[in-house]
Structure 1
Amino acid sequence: MRPTAVRTLVVWGAIGLALGSAIHPLCDRLGVVPPLVSLPQPLALLLLAGILGYVAWVTHRAVHVRRERLDAHQAVNRFVLGRASALVGALVGGGYIGYALTWIGDPAELADERLVRSLVAAACAVLAMVAGILLERACRVRDDDDATPA
């Protein structure tokens, strides 16, 4: 297994950007109120980033500092969790950025609030993505020939 490529994360982010930028115009066409990003959404992403960062740190210390060997199922579970979190973080981050961009210059009453909250949520999603990448990288071990996942 190879680490998640930057190109893959960019593609997932671009998909999220396209989906996020479609929400506001779609709500306007349907005549419904566009969603407001509430406080629990970025906090949940921040919590995810914190948990992933802690697991990445613990895994890195165990594998690379103390030279412990993880059980195969532990290594695979952590690797898959890191990869999935990185991909979802890119998708969600792109979605929040796309949603935020649709509010720039909008005269709506809560446009500025939607813009700022969406950008905060996007930053938290990017933190979750980075923590996922770090967890994925922490699972890599050096073999005699080359680096492979633990």
Structure 2
Amino acid sequence: MSDERPPPPAGTIRPVSPVRLAVLGILGLVLGWLAHPLSVQAGGSAPVVAWPQPLLLGFVAVALGRFAWDTRVSVRDRARRLEPHRAVNRLAFGRAAAYVASVLGGGYAGYALSWVDSRAELALHRVVWSGSAAVAALAVVVCGVLLERACRVGLDDDEA
């Protein structure tokens, strides 16, 4: 027997790549790190991150998580069958949310790290709220991937 896997059938979508999410997160980290010195050079003061950013990202994560749960139930339950075009829309939504949140999370983490050694008046405030936003963005990434995975159907499914 061969250990090689057969190629996926035509018309399938591969799951989101963790490597791609990591690369986007690193790109966001670099951009977030650069936001501090560039904003000071350009305008004289760095942006302040406050409670709305992590709160909004947390709300998006909860909504995506609930959406993923409902999608999983709909895909598994024959009585509440999810229409194919809706499943594809949800898959695209989950993937897009994971990609965007990966960049945002990296950006907030980079911005927080750029303030760690600073003695500025609001440095601790920026570190705490930017770090909280980075954690909330990570939750959005996880829930976006869960939503994408919830849209999977088996190859033996007659409606796949």
TM over 0.5: yes
Contact 2:50 2:126 in 1 (8 A): no
Give the Cα–Cα distance (whole angstroms) in 2 for the partners of residues 8 and 19 of structure 1.
Answer: 17
Q: How much does 1:72 deviate? A: 1.7
One-letter amino acid of the structure 2 residue matched with residue 16 of structure 1: G
CA RMSD of aligned residues (A): 1.4
Partner of 2:56 in structure 1? 44
Partner of 1:101 in structure 2? 113
Partner of 2:130 in structure 1? 118
More off after superposition, 11-20 vs 23-32:
23-32
What is the aligned-residue identity percentage? Answer: 50
Q: How much does 1:38 deviate? A: 1.7
If you compute each CA radius of gyration, which structure gives the higher value, 1 or 2? 2
One-letter amino acid of the structure 2 residue matched with residue 4 of structure 1: V
Give the Cα–Cα distance (whole angstroms) in 2 for the partners of residues 63 and 72 of structure 1.
Answer: 10
More off after superposition, 29-38 vs 51-60:
29-38
Contact 2:40 2:46 in 1 (8 A): yes
Instruction: For 1:5-24, list aligned pairs within 5 A.
Output: 5-24=17-36
Total equivalences in the alignment? 145
Contact 2:61 2:136 in 1 (8 A): yes
One-letter amino acid of the structure 2 residue matched with residue 119 of structure 1: G
Partner of 1:26 in structure 2? 38
Q: How much does 1:31 deviate? A: 4.4
Deviations along 1:84-114, one digit per CA (max 9) or x if unpaired, are 0000110000000000010011010110110
What secondary structure, in the 3-state scheme, does the structure 2 residue paired with 1:97 have? helix
Q: How much does 1:63 deviate? A: 1.2
